[in-house]
Structure 1
Amino acid sequence: MNLKTILFFILFILFNSTNIFALNVFHSITKNQIVTHGLLHTQTSLVTDIGWLDINILAVDLSNFNIKLAPIDAGVFDTKQTISQMAKNNGAVAAVNADFFSLTSTVPSFGICIEDENIKQIYTTDLANVGPQMDMASILIDRDLNIIMEYIDTNVLIKSESGQQVTANAYNKIGTYFHFPVVLDNQYTQTTDEIINKFPRASTILIKENRVISHMYSGSAQIPNNGYAIVMDNSLSEKMFSQFPIGSNIKIDISIHLHSNNQPNLISNHLPNINQVKFGIGGGGLILKDGLEYLGSSNIVDKNNRHPRTLIATTDKFGELLLITIDGRIYSAGATHREVIDILKNLGAKNAMYLDGGGSTTMVVRNQGDFFNTVQNVPSDGIERKVMNGIGIFSTNKPDKLADIHLELDRTVSVVGEPIKYKITGIDRSFNPIKLDDANIEIVGIQAEIQENMIIPKTTGNAFFVVEKDGISTETKINIIPKLIQSKLDPTTLNLISRETNILEHFEAANYHSLDPLYIDNLTYPPQTGEYYVNIIGPTKINKFIPAGDIKDTLNFNLNQYDAKVILASKNNIALDIHNLFELQSNFSAQDYKDVTLIYLNSDQAGLINTDVHNWKKLKDTINFSSKRHIIILTSHNPLTGFENKREGEALHNYLASIPKNIFVVTTNLEQNSVQIIDNVRYINTTGLNTDHIFDLTKSSFLQFKIEGSKINYTFRNISYT
């Protein structure tokens, strides 16, 4: 079973459950893409009882020869950079932020950093008081793809051939305070200039090919190739110079060992020799050990409150690693430590630990077919935070021949003369991108002008957009309808909106009723056998105006006529004598009326999550269990234009668009009557009494539906005097 199949099975169980990780899930949206062979990206948005939750997962198959995992950083001593920039500079196809660091200074990250058996940066944990001393763990991956997450002590020793040895504070790391020796090679800096400028009291020992070549009481120096510079406070220089005289042989001995404390449920692991570590990075506290909650001391940031989180985990599958981001603080709710545990368990995690979270939480991925990375989550600072390092995933396979073509259109329904933008990308057998500048493009079924990255339809009809290169082809169906012009209907404005790949394209309003076959300018009176009406009116109470008795009588007559079902769509109403009323109760109410399900959905706080997130479940349960052909939803905010969380509005619209029924979403305000048709969902606004003509009810209107079994029509009917 391959990586995609395994993870899809896990995600199917996770995100199709109505009660996962101790949260109730009312709605989910999941997208999967193979970034490169051996790397699967899953992006999931959940509507839960704690609100909106965005989770991104990278499933990495380390056993795949195409995949390489490596730390990434700015490549410059003590320099922060965004994950996007690090990934771009290092050539990673995906990356997440990694180790913790100081926000107030440019000192290095707190933990180890190892790539391909090469030590990039490391502290002596006892001297620097980092790592296990702060209950912060590390992850190591050896040559045999054994993945170890533990509290690991590290030690940097300077040894001479005469038996002298001194413990160095770090290798390629200098903290806020400088005293004990630090060993530097030239991976991050060619000279000691920056260190001397920052710490003028520093003295230096230069080593080349394991032999001391110079003692310097002060001043900067070039770091030798195949060598080191040992810098220390000059109070230590005399002793260090005597222990390691010029001409003596020096060895830098770096070792790792398990920390003995705070591991009550530790199953002993044998650590590899540090020279056999293919990948190593520091992080935060342990979360899971062998599938169980880790019960020892663990560095967890604000464990009882919800925050953005970055996680790294193993599963029972050999060589599989999960990199996970959970967004928070903006639209997404974030997660507590308890919720993190439950998320990881439901993903099948075996061992897991924290990486830096909060504003640092970032995931970038090269979307399939692209040549560049895109930020996949929403960093809580509003922009990417500059961090000290990250974890990069690389594709090692060389570019291959074309294996598949991807065609993306900004919409598949358009009108004559309106451009359709397109994007064509190719991928090879490793799912890596291939440029397709010279692909053959053909529009079959209509006449169209093909320009760079767009086509302009010249005739109407159904057609196919066909792309071919080297015997590989793909096609997408498009529908071109006549050019639409301004409607003469009054007071209604009809808009047809086609929405593809989350892009809204507004067409002009139509000049004929057949644009929406359900709209009829004048519904017939009285209803024929089997026909009945549902009347919906907007606000009838305007400021402090109290209508005279004859106006109330006129409203009562118009709304009650022919025993219509009446809905006062606004809560701002005068007292009316309505015989057959659907009342807007509490946050949610629903009623089956003959062939229609009527739903009141409170979105007063510019969204369901903001108002009452449980309305998601109530709405879906009502619609999913309804046997009625027609659904009329009354709500105060249009999901696509009035929700504070735009993604929640999109999610609600997409759900409604997926229902094979006539769906009407009715809102009310005092501006104008209007209709928009988006993906077969009709968004209708009805105004109620007209404030400019309060004493002339013929200038006001209500929304009227005429229903007979599976047939439904609607119109805006002006109020007439009795």
Structure 2
Amino acid sequence: MKLRFGRVRAVLTVLVAWGVLAGGAVAGGGPATAAPDTLRRSDAVPVAPGVEYEEFRMTVPRGTVHGHLLTVDLADPRVSTDLLYPGAVGARSPVSELADARDAVGAVNGDFFHISETQHPGVEPTGAPVGPAVSSGRRLKGAVPDGQRFGPAMPPGATTEDVIGVGHDGRARLDRLALRGAVRTAEGQLPLRGLNQYALPVDGIGAYTERWGPASRVRATCGTDTDRAAPCSTRTAEVTVRHGRVAAIEERPGGGGVEPGSVVLVGREEGARRLSALHVGEPVSISHRLVGRSPGPLRFAVGGFPIVRSGQPVAGVDTVTVAVRTAAGTGEGGRVLYLMALDGASGQTGLTVRELAELMARLGARDALDLDGGGSSTLVTREPYDPEVTVRNHPSGGMERPVPNAIGVFSHDD
């Protein structure tokens, strides 16, 4: 993969000047976090039918913020979106590779993920994302417990179940996807508390399908619902269900891919006790679904946490930590999708989460979600007839970081 950073740049022109923010309050609660600043946006450049790309620069007291924006017209019948992922939940690839594999015309990185594991010696990071994931209408995974997430602190009221996505009606929205499922046995019904997750709730049972991939399932039994660093559970069990019957029972979770037609159940504490009571050959059925708060299923969904609601920054978001950031927002009744990533080149500054929320609102988002940032922040576009995408921003690590998923944009001429 040949990576080309910022091959074509539009000439920046001043389109709008922001008013004074310092010394007053901003609607939505809390004091303003930035001094007087200006937003200078380039002319929008068509990427494909219904998709435009632009750059912007913003001056804040500590320096210059450089960002990249994709504006996606979901009302255009030639446009569609989907969640890109590397074929397994517990795997990672650079955004450019994810986009090239699906011929996407644009993409940004997605959810926060299980990137490190220093608290539990011998346990490897899975690379799996934090929140729910839906791709092409297929549910890939549920959300880990709030205390097991990676990333900046969430504002009050947010959970790991929060997502942004696009429904089968073609409208983008923020939603919240809760896992509902059960394991039915001859002795009764067991609640299913996880689907392809790197962390399970205490006392819970989780299901792992072939979409999980080869990553180890040991991490699922470490930490607690409120403390990611808590020790791994001493009471665990793993049951392999093949074609509707128990095929194997083990005391410890394993690794390696799950065979098609099979489901691996992992339990901890009370969940492990109940799985251990099963017998080889016993019939078992497993069901699961992701249930949203809004009507209609999402064709794709990716996790993050809300930063803008009804055009106003969410109260309680971080106002201190400055970082390179990625966000996705919706506008015009869900008919427009905004995908934004900051540039991580040396000499440029980032934003606090509060400043990010203010920025997304001014770019047009009525609702917006914070996605993974730092070295993960990546935005790519594909020029017409080009077999490879262009990485438009400079990832802060000097090269693309492999990530578990990305929001992909597609467009066709007819």
SS in 2 for 1:342: helix
The answer for the alignment partner of 1:212 in structure 2 is: 245
1:269-327 superposed Cα distances (whole Å, 9 cap, x missing partner)? x4236xx221111013x2221112322x55x4xx3343212111111254211011123
Q: Given residue 282 of structure 1, which amino acid in structure 2 is its aligned partner?
A: G
Over 3 Å counting, the alpha-carbon distance change for 1:32 and 1:382 in structure 2 is: same
SS in 2 for 1:58: strand
Among 271, 275, 280, the alignment partner of 1:240 is 275
User: Which structure has the larger Rg?
Assistant: 1
* Counterpart contact for 2:67–2:342, Cα < 8 Å: yes
CA distance in structure 1 between the partners assigned to 2:258 and 2:284 by the alignment: 17
Runs of 5+ consecutive residues of structure 2 not aligned to the other structure: 1-12, 22-34, 118-124, 222-233
The answer for the alignment partner of 2:303 in structure 1 is: 282
* Pairing 1:342–2:358 present: yes
How does 1:120-135 map onto structure 2 within 5 Å?
A: 120-123=140-143, 125=145, 135=159
CA distance in structure 2 between the partners assigned to 1:249 and 1:341 by the alignment: 47
**TM-score when scaled to structure 2?**
0.74
The answer for the alignment partner of 1:113 in structure 2 is: 133
After alignment, is 173-182 or 98-107 more displaced?
A: 173-182
Q: Given residue 283 of structure 2, which amino acid in structure 1 is its aligned partner?
A: S
Among 317, 324, 335, the alignment partner of 1:319 is 335
Among 113, 137, 151, the alignment partner of 1:101 is 113
Greater RCO, CA 8 A, separation 6+: 2
SS in 2 for 1:187: coil
Over 3 Å counting, the alpha-carbon distance change for 1:271 and 1:178 in structure 2 is: same
* Counterpart contact for 1:127–1:169, Cα < 8 Å: no
SS in 2 for 1:349: coil
CA distance in structure 2 between the partners assigned to 1:65 and 1:278 by the alignment: 15
Q: Given residue 83 of structure 1, which amino acid in structure 2 is its aligned partner?
A: V
SS in 2 for 1:206: strand
CA distance in structure 1 between the partners assigned to 2:384 and 2:324 by the alignment: 26
Over 3 Å counting, the alpha-carbon distance change for 1:235 and 1:91 in structure 2 is: same
SS in 2 for 1:19: coil
Once the two structures are TM-superposed, the CA of residue 121 in structure 1 deviates from its matched residue by 1.5
Over 3 Å counting, the alpha-carbon distance change for 1:248 and 1:342 in structure 2 is: same
The answer for the alignment partner of 2:3 in structure 1 is: none
Once the two structures are TM-superposed, the CA of residue 50 in structure 1 deviates from its matched residue by 4.8
* Pairing 1:65–2:98 present: no
Once the two structures are TM-superposed, the CA of residue 198 in structure 1 deviates from its matched residue by 10
CA distance in structure 2 between the partners assigned to 1:317 and 1:145 by the alignment: 11
CA distance in structure 2 between the partners assigned to 1:244 and 1:394 by the alignment: 48
* Pairing 1:254–2:289 present: yes
Q: Given residue 115 of structure 2, which amino acid in structure 1 is its aligned partner?
A: L
SS in 1 for 2:16: coil
Over 3 Å counting, the alpha-carbon distance change for 1:135 and 1:235 in structure 2 is: closer
The answer for the alignment partner of 2:294 in structure 1 is: 271
Once the two structures are TM-superposed, the CA of residue 354 in structure 1 deviates from its matched residue by 0.7
* Pairing 1:154–2:178 present: yes
* Counterpart contact for 1:33–1:368, Cα < 8 Å: no
Among 54, 57, 61, the alignment partner of 2:66 is 54
Once the two structures are TM-superposed, the CA of residue 57 in structure 1 deviates from its matched residue by 0.8
Once the two structures are TM-superposed, the CA of residue 120 in structure 1 deviates from its matched residue by 0.8
Once the two structures are TM-superposed, the CA of residue 170 in structure 1 deviates from its matched residue by 2.1
CA distance in structure 2 between the partners assigned to 1:58 and 1:162 by the alignment: 52
How does 1:623-662 map onto structure 2 within 5 Å?
A: none
Once the two structures are TM-superposed, the CA of residue 146 in structure 1 deviates from its matched residue by 4.0
* Counterpart contact for 1:33–1:367, Cα < 8 Å: no
**TM-score when scaled to structure 1?**
0.44
* Counterpart contact for 2:95–2:406, Cα < 8 Å: yes
* Pairing 1:223–2:258 present: yes
Over 3 Å counting, the alpha-carbon distance change for 1:223 and 1:101 in structure 2 is: closer
SS in 2 for 1:330: coil
Over 3 Å counting, the alpha-carbon distance change for 1:229 and 1:166 in structure 2 is: same
Once the two structures are TM-superposed, the CA of residue 29 in structure 1 deviates from its matched residue by 6.0
SS in 2 for 1:86: helix
Among 188, 202, 212, the alignment partner of 1:164 is 188
**Aligned sequence identity (%):** 20
Among 333, 341, 361, the alignment partner of 2:377 is 361
Q: Given residue 96 of structure 1, which amino acid in structure 2 is its aligned partner?
A: V
CA distance in structure 2 between the partners assigned to 1:243 and 1:133 by the alignment: 38
Structure number with higher helix proportion = 1
CA distance in structure 2 between the partners assigned to 1:355 and 1:165 by the alignment: 36
CA distance in structure 2 between the partners assigned to 1:367 and 1:195 by the alignment: 40
Once the two structures are TM-superposed, the CA of residue 372 in structure 1 deviates from its matched residue by 0.9
Q: Would you say how many aligned residue pairs link Structure 1 and Structure 2?
A: 362
CA distance in structure 1 between the partners assigned to 2:361 and 2:189 by the alignment: 46
| Cα RMSD after superposing both structures | 3.7
